[in-house]
Amino acid sequence: MKPAGRNVLIRPFSDEIMFAGKIHLPDTAKSRACEGIVIAVGCWCESVSPGDWVIFSRKQATDVIHDNVTHVIVDERAIPLILEEESKDIAYA
């Protein structure tokens, strides 16, 4: 699958897939923001690349199920945060 334009295909992390050292969002933010890994980007995307770990707006996401795996499609502008390697070791409460 390849998203069109500025869209980004993300595999969201569920609560069961949380790893030690990842950013943990408070319960009040879970309905508004989620985290995941970028799987593919549209041809006009400039700020994210496949493999980036991102925080994205859940309200602006469209669920897509492909091969029994849930993905979401979001506009590139619905990704306010791209996490760098050194920040992945920090856990936020």
As a whole number of angstroms, the distance between CA 43 and CA 29 comes to 30
Does position 92 have pLDDT exceeding 80, yes or no?
no
Q: Is residue 19 part of a domain?
A: yes
Residue 16's pLDDT is what?
45
Torsion of CA 16, 21, 26, 32, to 10 degrees: -70
Residue 88's pLDDT is what?
53
Q: What is the pLDDT of residues 14-70, one digit of tens each?
A: 654 444 455 565 555 555 678 999 999 999 999 999 999 999 998 899 999 989 999
Residue 50's pLDDT is what?
96
Residue 93's pLDDT is what?
41
Q: How many domains does the chain fold into?
A: 1
Q: Is residue 2 part of a domain?
A: no
Q: Is residue 29 part of a domain?
A: yes
Residue 75's pLDDT is what?
96
Whose tokens are 């996401």? That residue is: 61
Q: Is residue 55 part of a domain?
A: yes
Q: Is residue 1 part of a domain?
A: no
CATH number of the structural domain spanning residue 56: 2.30.33.40
Residue 84's pLDDT is what?
79
Residue 62's pLDDT is what?
93
Range of the domain at 21: 7-89
